[in-house]
Amino acid sequence: MNVFRMSLSSGVAIRAVLCRVQLRSSHASPRSAPVKVLYDGLCPICVTEIRFLQYLQRKQPGKVDFIDISLPGYDGAKHNDISYEMAMEEMHVIDEKNTVHRGVPAFYVMYSAVGLGWLGRLLMWPPVRPLMDKFYDIFARNRLKWTGRGGECTTGRCEKKTN
């Protein structure tokens, strides 16, 4: 009986060690692609948020790739065919599985990637989500006007107007 208990406990211990080794080796495997956040680098509101998120991820570099769509070299073909015009309409985030998220769900993915998952979950919580969708829709439609740029920024490239 004692031999059975000893072999049973040894088997449990061996399985526990094997599980730990498997977990370590899974972490050692090639990392998944980073989350890609497409943002308007000429939008002062957007840039302020992106800088904050970059600060949060400083201890985990490479987890999120922040892509400034306002730069001349932006190529939507390299980012799931998200054109400049599409990206200017609303926030786009591409997750590790190469799935595109737009609007409020994009914020959920982005916040989760930098350690603010609680905030992302709050935005997506059913009692809050309709309100967030409405607020974000108003912001997305008006951000160019609110940041000193007009409708001409939705196509081609644009610069902040100086008065």
Tell me the whole-structure pTM to 2 decimals: 0.73
Who contacts 143 (Cβ-Cβ below 8 Å, separation ≥6)? Answer: 43, 45, 46
- Note whether 80 and 99 are within 8 A (CB): no
Q: What is the mean pLDDT of the chain?
A: 80
| DSSP one-letter code for 154 | G
Confidence (pLDDT) at 103: 97
Is residue 134 helix, strand or coil? Answer: helix
* pLDDT tens-digit map of 61-104: 889 999 999 999 999 999 999 999 999 999 999 999 999 999 99
User: Taking 70 as the threshold, does the pLDDT of residue 136 lie above it?
Assistant: yes
User: Which residue did the predictor score with more confidence, 53 or 31?
Assistant: 53
* pLDDT tens-digit map of 11-24: 444 444 344 433 33
- The residue extents of the domains of the chain are 1-30, 35-154
Segment 48-59 shows an average pLDDT of: 92
User: Which residue did the predictor score with more confidence, 154 or 91?
Assistant: 91
CA distance 14 to 92: 46
Give alpha helix (H) positions in the chain: 2-28, 44-56, 84-89, 104-113, 117-124, 129-146
